[in-house]
Structure 1
């Protein structure tokens, strides 16, 4: 068991990462003593972390219990609207301000992901890292903070669109187009490639949720 004196921010981060990685899914009940035992943290910082997550609408009340929140159809649509605009701006700014080193890291991420195509869970984790790296490459602290909030909410979607057959390969091709535009310092093309990428991911998710066959 870990040090019970770990600060609140660590308890918050541990729970948030568990939600983000799908260990706790929408509708799952979070219990203080179970979380404390799982993460090796005392109950007080766990309680404070849960209160913080509830304030951020990542957790919701079901009677006296706290459960991982979920997004309905309209909320998902609203989230994708905001995500598309903010990520498009991040790509546009990254094309102008990313260092050569940052661009090489993004390119290497795309190349490394070719080895993960058969593992949707690993590809999903890598996808989050890719987008985070792109956000940082925008060199705009306020934009990065807002995108962090958006991506926390993305964790409330029960599944990843990358698990749908063929989507991982297509997403990787889209990432390649984004990085190519960034390498060319073409801000308009970078924004267009990024927004097209998010639009396709959203459409794929909608088709999957509706129960129709997905052709991606």
Structure 2
């Protein structure tokens, strides 16, 4: 049986992932989640280069769980293997279009299911998230966070764990896109109206209108993203 490296057997207490094995509490899984969270927060941006040995030293684990984590991220298209290390993936324009096309379908389904399954508490949560977005300061990162909370309220109200996992995977890929569409001056005002239409349809239990409003919302976000891409070209 292969032996593990010393760092696997004698980790520094409390300094990094420490569990052994292949489950969700294994070192590899913990390293994977740490790297994924950094991508979500924008700490690891598209094009950023990473080395297994440097990451292992930083997290105080051996290279084995780091390699496992990078392989999992690669399988999801979030990183690419390059000479001497790994690089955070940079989606092409075609991939951006594919992401938004799928997002319109999934967000539409989430809104439809929310209209059908939301509890009274869910409806209150969605309404509070809407009001928080409306009252949010006109600052792009604050708007982006409030937008995520609004959508997450709808995801929870949908009551579909499989859909939730698919949306989480998709949103991890969207996190690789540079900046946020709220850098576009008109985007926040448009999103307010779009969010209100979604929340109103869900509260009215109108599943067709809820799905249509969600799809319109994502199409508008896609168009804003494309304007960002072409303006940067």
CA contact (8 A) 1:60 1:67 kept: yes
Of 107, 117, 121 in structure 2, the residue corresponding to residue 87 of structure 1 is 107
Aligned to 1:189, what secondary structure does the other structure show?
Answer: helix
Residues matched between the structures, number: 211
Give the gaps of 5 or more residues in structure 2.
Answer: 1-13, 20-26
Aligned to 2:45, what secondary structure does the other structure show?
Answer: coil
Q: CA deviation at 1:10?
A: 2.7
- Cα gap change, 1:176 to 1:41, in 2 (>3 Å): farther
Q: Paired residue for 1:141?
A: 161
Residue 2, structure 1, aligned to residue 15, structure 2: yes
Q: CA deviation at 1:28?
A: 0.6
Give the gaps of 5 or more residues in structure 1.
Answer: none
Distance in 2 separating the partners of 1:136 and 1:50: 29
- Cα gap change, 1:3 to 1:207, in 2 (>3 Å): closer
The higher radius of gyration belongs to: 2
- Cα gap change, 1:167 to 1:35, in 2 (>3 Å): farther
Q: CA deviation at 1:41?
A: 4.9
CA RMSD of aligned residues (A): 2.0
Distance in 1 separating the partners of 2:84 and 2:145: 32
Distance in 1 separating the partners of 2:46 and 2:87: 7
Query: Where do residues 76-155 of structure 1 align in structure 2 (5 Å cutoff)?
Result: 76-155=96-175
Aligned to 1:211, what secondary structure does the other structure show?
Answer: helix
Q: Paired residue for 1:42?
A: 61
Q: Taking structure 2 as the reference length, what is the TM-score of the superposition?
A: 0.82
Q: Paired residue for 2:203?
A: 183
What CA deviation, in whole Å up to 9, does each residue of 1:27-79 have, x standing for no partner? 111233544565x4524433321221011110012223211101111111111
Aligned to 1:80, what secondary structure does the other structure show?
Answer: helix
Of 185, 197, 203 in structure 1, the residue corresponding to residue 223 of structure 2 is 203
Of 159, 165, 174 in structure 1, the residue corresponding to residue 194 of structure 2 is 174
Q: Name whichever of 75-84 and 3-12 sits farther off.
A: 3-12
Q: CA deviation at 1:85?
A: 1.0
CA contact (8 A) 2:39 2:45 kept: yes
Q: CA deviation at 1:91?
A: 0.6
Q: Taking structure 1 as the reference length, what is the TM-score of the superposition?
A: 0.88
What CA deviation, in whole Å up to 9, does each residue of 1:79-137 have, x standing for no partner? 11111111111111110001111111111112122343322112212322322331222
Distance in 1 separating the partners of 2:70 and 2:135: 36
